[in-house]
Structure formats: structure tokens, C-alpha cells
Copies of this chain bind each other. A is one copy, B any other.
């Protein structure tokens, strides 16, 4: 879970491809790489994105190599004429190209195993600048490589990877980051750990974590990835000492964050909920109105979710609430579809209908239309039904969420999942107080 190692040098990133400078594709590779480098204490100086033109690629390499110790490039390694990274870099480095027999065989096997003939131009992917160390690609044809720029006395290193995110990520995490982490200049090691939180703003987190670190020996950084905020703790020092410090700090972070801490590492809310339900042997069903299926979608994004998620009802219309879930006509007429009362009957109804251990329900106004002065856009009721949920076997609460329609849907699904998480942890689901509206009501 912890990221280890590295040294205080700087890096630059080059992303190559016409699709990036024409706006046909968003460059997500650069942020992925920058985040991984930050975790091992390497600062990214700049990202340069250029189209598939030799002069522009050359310009990007010359300017980044003059500034950074490591330049990581993605893209331009394909088999076609407009894939120019290798030729251009060899030219910049002042070295020739050599064919690599093993890579040529691997590429030809790759095509054979996929039952397709190999186009001759794919052999281009088996040529490398002289002096390059090959970085294998287990998922595609384009291998990457590392090349020290010989004529620059700072001896910067070019690290060349394919642009396909799946291949790039596997090579970066498997080969490049561990290698970079070993290039320690002075023996300093960086270790870091990520804490996923929900329910606290960045400033609330900042306040909660006051005094946890000594700024001379560790760093805290926040990353808002709606609707969650992650906290990274990074410690620099010698290996044993910094790992011990990180463990000590982590212990304090866990205590300070309490139930707002969802998980450590790159884990989603739906994965945490799934792990907890599995551990406790609980099954879940959802009755979704304003979340419109998003809870089911998120839960079923996790492989193996059929073990604990039986399904549910998307009760978008009042008829479905009444006829499928059994919400009483009187409740809908008296309190309205967006009310704790309706949410409770939805949660109980979906639990009865499916026989699941837990039934969670959402009903609210996602907007942009449909709001009233008493129930403005963002008003959302959540309920959870289950045998051990108090005397009436159901709990509910009203929230005032905010933002555009998609935000209200995401927040609704997040709060509902947070209820399930807290309950499965043995905590009170009503303690999920993000965007809470008014006081809890006793039922």
C-alpha cells in the first residue's frame, strides 16, 4: 500500500499525438505519471503536449531535457509513418538506431497468438536508439526504453513509453517507478501513504490534522476527487526511519479521521462497501429514485459483487414506488415522494421484495427543475432498513445536497453507500453527516 523511495530530482513529461492537440482525446497519462512521481518525491517541472510532427517533437525533447533529470514520454511508438518518437529522440541524442531481434520475435509472436498476420511496418517497433535499455510491454506490441543522453554532461535520462493508457500504466508501475526510486542521489528515501476520506472538506481535514506532522520531516497533501478527498502523507529520510515515522503518523491520522476515513490506498467507496458486506456475510438491495440506478451501477462495477448485491428497484415514478415497492398511497399523498417517510417505506419494501439483509433507499430532487421553497433542488432523503437498525428496523434522514444534476446524483449515491459502510462497520449510519439538513428526527 505504501509507495517507497526516490530522490529530490526533477522530471518533465512529454505527451505526443495529434489526437491530444486536436482535442479528440484528453491526456490522462500525464496526470497519472505526475501522481506516481510525486509519490516517490520526484517533482514534475512541466508537461508538454505536441502533435505528430518531427520538428515539434524535437522541440519538446530539447526543451525538457535541458531542464529535467528525467523526461518521460508517452505516445508516438506505433507502427505507422506518423509515429516519430524513436527517430526524433535518437536524432536529439545523436545516436543511431539498431534492430532488436528479440523484440522482433516477440511482436511476431504477439500477432500469431492473436491469430492475425503481422503487418511489415510493425517491425519498426523493434528498432531502438543505440544504448537504450528496453522496457518490456506485456500487453501490446510497442516496447518502451530508457536512454541516457550521452552528450549532455548532466546526463538526463529519456524514458519512452507507449501512449495506450493500459500499457503505459503497467510499464510505469512495474518497471519505471521502481527504477526511478532506486536512483537515489543522497540515500534519501521517500515513503508515502494515501487515505481516502468522505464527509470532510479539505479545510476541515487540514484542521483535523493540525500538528500531526512535523513539516521538516513529512508532508501532507490533499487531492479532491469528487465526492471524495484523499490525503497523502509523505516522509523523507533513511529507509527504516522513514517507514517507522510513516507508520506512527498513519496511526494518528486514523484516530483523527475516525469514520471519515474510508480506506487506505487507491480504493473506491464501492469496493470498501463490498469488502465489508462480504466480511459480515450481508446481502444488500437498493430502492433508487433520484440516484436513478447509480448505486447499482457503482456496486456492480466491482467484480464479484453478485455475492452480496442482489439487485433492486429503480422507482423513478410514484407508481413504481407504490405498486412495486409497496409505498402506501397515503404516505406519498401526505409527505410527498421526497420525504423520510417515503424513503423508509422504499427501504423496507425493497428488503421485503428481494429478501436482502439490508435495503437502502434514496428519494430526492436532482434538478434542475422540480424544486420548491420547502424542498429545493438537492433535497434528498436516505433510508436504511435491516433487522438490527433500531426498534423500527429502519433509519432515515434528510439531506440538503448541492450542485448540478450529476453532482446531486453522485452525492446521493455516495451518502447511501456511506450509510451501508458505517452500518456494516457497526457505527450509526445517521453519523454520516455530509450535507445534513436539520436535526435527526426520532421515529
Contact = CB atoms under 8 A, between A and B. Distances in A.
A303 B369 contact: yes
B315 A320 contact: no
A183 interface: no
A301 B49 contact: no
Contact of A313 (B297, B314, B323): B314
Interface-central residue, A31, A295, A299, by most chain B CB under 10 Å: A31
Contact of A311 (B301, B315, B353): B315
B38 A23 contact: yes
Contact of A312 (B32, B221, B314): B314
A97 interface: no
A43 B293 CA distance: 41
B23 A33 contact: yes
Interface string A289-315: 111111111011101111001111111
A437 to B, nearest CB: 18
Interface in A19-37: 19-28, 30-37
Contacts of A60: 46
Q: Number of copies of this chain in the oligomer?
A: 2
A202 to B, nearest CB: 11
A304 B24 CA distance: 30
Nearest to A47: B49
Interface-central residue, A26, A32, A50, A285, by most chain B CB under 10 Å: A26
B311 A314 contact: yes
Contacts of A30: 23, 27, 49
A23 B35 contact: yes
A44 interface: yes
A406 interface: yes
Given A36-B23, A49-B46, A354 B319 contact: yes
Contact of A34 (B22, B46, B306, B310): B22
What 5 pairs across the A-B complex have the smallest Cβ distances?
A293-B296, A23-B35, A292-B300, A293-B293, A23-B34
